[in-house]
Chains A and B, each alone.
Chain A
Amino acid sequence: MTILLYDGTFEGLLTAIFEVYEYKFDPAEIIAEERYNTESIFSATHKVSTDQEKSDRVLKRLEKNIGKKGISQLLKVYLSENENAERLILSAVSQSILFPNEYILENFANSDIMEIAKITKSVSREVHRMHAFVRFEKLQDEVYFAKIEPDFNVLPLIIRHFKNRYQDQKWMIYDLRRHYGIFYDLNEAQFFEPALEQTSQLKRTENILHEEEIQYQKLWQRYFFKTNIPERKNMNLHVQSLPKRYWKYLTEKL
């Protein structure tokens, strides 16, 4: 068994997959460096240095075998931060190389593929929830700001949606758990990583809200209350559709 250690990036992972074939490591396991903490005496380790060219070659091959749709599924598995992500992606890539003419990601009777389908579904659902549950607050400097704590690392997957939607207002979405965000400045949306002393300010925004903000929040809360039909109360359905872990950032549930 050879353990390949990579830098945790998607390109790094694809480079590692390339090297599994290049050096014929079999069996092989790919682990992100920061997650690797056990020195196993039975396996050799191989350190992967991320190589754009190798990564692109894997991508090109994948595009031929499983298309952009397939690559996007594997990217979702990577962003899921699932502990088996590397193994599943390697498995899918190997299967696509063995059966280049089949869309192997639809072989749902294979347990790895079924697991990929499940993870992809969870990640897609989280993306959809972020489209739905992000709540912007207007700040004094006219920036619409939202905090999120998604279950998976979906921020890269939601940029396009918000960019298409909000073109005439500045906005910012910040992932509190992963300490990075996106900022749209009316021209382009870019990632940012705040310095440590800034992060506490991003958590507490009540002193920098726009003067109208509280009024509109209140209107929304009252609307939310009034549009409910008490005679039809169904809290099970309510909580099922609106899981409690999202409540702390939902204006209407504050």
Chain B
Amino acid sequence: MNFPRLQEKLEILADAAKYDVSCSSSGGNRKNKKGGLGDSHATGICHSYTEDGRCVSLLKILLTNHCIYDCAYCVSRKSNDIKRAAFTVEEVVDLTINFYRRNYIEGLFLSSGIFKDAETTMERLVRVAKKLRKEHNFNGYIHLKSIPGASDEIMKEAGLYADRLSINLEIPTTRGLKLLAPEKSHDQMIKPMGFIKNELNLYKEEKKIFKNVPKFAPAGQSTQMIVGATDETDLKIIKVADHFYQNFKLKRVYYSGYVPMLEDKRLPSIDSQVPMLRENRLYQADWLMRFYGFKADEILEKSNPFLDLEVDPKLAWALRNREQFPVNINTATKEMILRVPGIGRKSMYKILTARNFQKLNLEHLRKMGVATNRAKYFVEFESQNIFNKYIDDFNFRKIILQGMKSKFQNPFSEQLTLF
């Protein structure tokens, strides 16, 4: 093994892959077959966290950063003057196995630049996964990028070895994609997503009849959109995400705040900030749709298509719909308790079970871990709750904000208010 050369490749191809945010290793259900290596953990494991606070669960690399495309938002675009490298299949397998044995990672996330054509690239990705599964009896997590334009046959084979497949939509709007990546189109990306969805359904049906159906991408498929590279609204992004959750049964939609790295007049300036707060709000909205029973239309309205940066989307909804509150903790439905700002799914579950034993009050909620600084205004009990009176107050939003501290608070804001 030529370690210095391998290290150089790893540095180039990890650096090029890092803008793909998905690092999830959950949803896999691959068990260690007698005497093999690896066992997927249903909930996923984050083995480390980088200094930007993101989880490191998978060895996330490109097979190569050679690419025939010239997408403006991508660091590996053809016209960008950067160092190029390519791993051999054996090198990726060796790195994966050796990192996994030392408990550094849950598995591999392999993507690639398009080095000749879609089919050849996809074939090479599949060869890595196949070698890991067949020759090394590897049962860790494998996430493969599906390359739009590859044949259905190779896509199908990919699903047999991978736990998750994904295709990035890149830019949420068709217009934006056309502007930044003229060689790509959403139709071209949606086709394989539809194919994978149908295959997933097929395997699910067969599984009901036959016991030993091989696994097909058991952790489903996901996608990613870049946020802030073009002028799309949050409402548009949420609608697109909702569309894919509803119609393509995606496991996850990831939002990636655009990191300015290239000078291009079609893109935001190189000095612009990464829209991290906006990205965070989008994830919160995404959670509301997937776990809190909110519909896309409830989160944002056409008249006001951007998420409130000052308050989270659930609190924003509550502020717009004050007539729904206060909610009686001891009698309300699960759905309504979930809509109370400051009450998450775990607290909701605790409330539902604990109220079978006795009537609850605010102190109980606090001990259960509810964020009572927000929740206290929106809940009621058998005894009187003095905080309810603020709901109708003209300054209610301000009163609530005073009781909260945002992690994104501008460090200079306090000084400025002195004047």
Which residues of A approach B to under 8 Å, CB–CB? Answer: 102-103, 106-111, 114, 117, 128, 131-138, 144, 146, 161, 164-169, 212, 215-216, 218-220, 222-224, 226-238, 240-242, 250-252
A222 to B350, CA, bound (A): 43
| Complex interface: stretch among B50-58, B79-87, B225-233 | B50-58
Query: What is the predominant secondary structure among interface residues of chain B facing chain A?
Result: loop
* Cβ contacts A to B, 14 pairs, < 8 Å: A108-B368, A131-B41, A136-B103, A161-B41, A164-B31, A165-B39, A166-B37, A223-B59, A226-B18, A229-B54, A232-B274, A235-B51, A238-B50, A250-B48
Q: Are B95 and A219 in contact (CB under 8 A)?
A: yes
Known: A107-B354, A114-B368, A216-B99. A238 touches B41 (CB 8 A): no
Which B residues are in CB contact (< 8 Å) with A219?
3, 6-7, 10, 95, 98-99
Which B residues are in CB contact (< 8 Å) with A237?
49, 52-53
A138 to B103, CA, bound (A): 11
Q: Which residue of B6, B19, B59, B98 contacts A229 across the interface (Cβ within 8 Å)?
A: B19
Which B residues are in CB contact (< 8 Å) with A107?
353-354, 357-358
A219 to B104, CA, bound (A): 11
B360 at the interface (CB under 8 A from A): yes
Residue in chain A with minimal CB distance to B52: A232
Residue in chain B with minimal CB distance to A237: B53
Given contacts A219-B3, A231-B261, A234-B276, 7 further A-B contacts (CB under 8 A): A108-B350, A133-B48, A168-B36, A168-B37, A223-B14, A226-B18, A232-B53
CB distance from B37 to the nearest CB of A (A): 6
Which A residues are in CB contact (< 8 Å) with B51?
228, 230, 233-235, 238
B263 at the interface (CB under 8 A from A): no
A168 to B38, CA, bound (A): 9
- Give residues of chain B (321-361) contacting chain A, Cβ–Cβ below 8 Å: 350, 353-354, 356-358, 360
Which B residues are in CB contact (< 8 Å) with A106?
350, 353-354, 356-357
Which A residues are in CB contact (< 8 Å) with B175?
none
A251 to B274, CA, bound (A): 30
Q: Are A231 and B259 in contact (CB under 8 A)?
A: yes
Residue in chain B with minimal CB distance to A223: B14
Q: Which residue of B3, B18, B276 contacts A215 across the interface (Cβ within 8 Å)?
A: B3
Which residues of B approach A to under 8 Å, CB–CB? Answer: 1, 3, 6-7, 10-11, 14-15, 17-19, 31-32, 34-39, 41, 45-56, 59-60, 95, 98-99, 101-104, 137, 257, 259-261, 274, 276, 350, 353-354, 356-358, 360, 364, 367-368, 407
Which A residues are in CB contact (< 8 Å) with B56?
224, 227
Which A residues are in CB contact (< 8 Å) with B357?
102, 106-107, 109-110
Known: A215-B3, A227-B50, A241-B46. A232 touches B276 (CB 8 A): yes
A165 to B45, CA, bound (A): 13
Q: Are A165 and B18 in contact (CB under 8 A)?
A: no
CB distance from A217 to the nearest CB of B (A): 8
Known: A131-B41, A226-B10. A108 touches B364 (CB 8 A): yes
Which B residues are in CB contact (< 8 Å) with A161?
41
Q: Are A166 and B364 in contact (CB under 8 A)?
A: no
A43 to B104, CA, bound (A): 53
Residue in chain B with minimal CB distance to A253: B48
Q: Are A224 and B103 in contact (CB under 8 A)?
A: no
Which B residues are in CB contact (< 8 Å) with A235?
51, 53
Q: Are B98 and A222 in contact (CB under 8 A)?
A: no
Which B residues are in CB contact (< 8 Å) with A166?
37, 101
Which B residues are in CB contact (< 8 Å) with A131?
41, 45
Which A residues are in CB contact (< 8 Å) with B103?
134-136, 146
Q: Which residue of A117, A233, A251 contacts B102 across the interface (Cβ within 8 Å)?
A: A251
Q: Which residue of A108, A164, A165, A223 contacts B353 across the interface (Cβ within 8 Å)?
A: A108
CB distance from B73 to the nearest CB of A (A): 14
Greatest chain B CB density within 10 A among A169, A223, A250, A251 is at: A223
Greatest chain B CB density within 10 A among A146, A164, A236 is at: A164
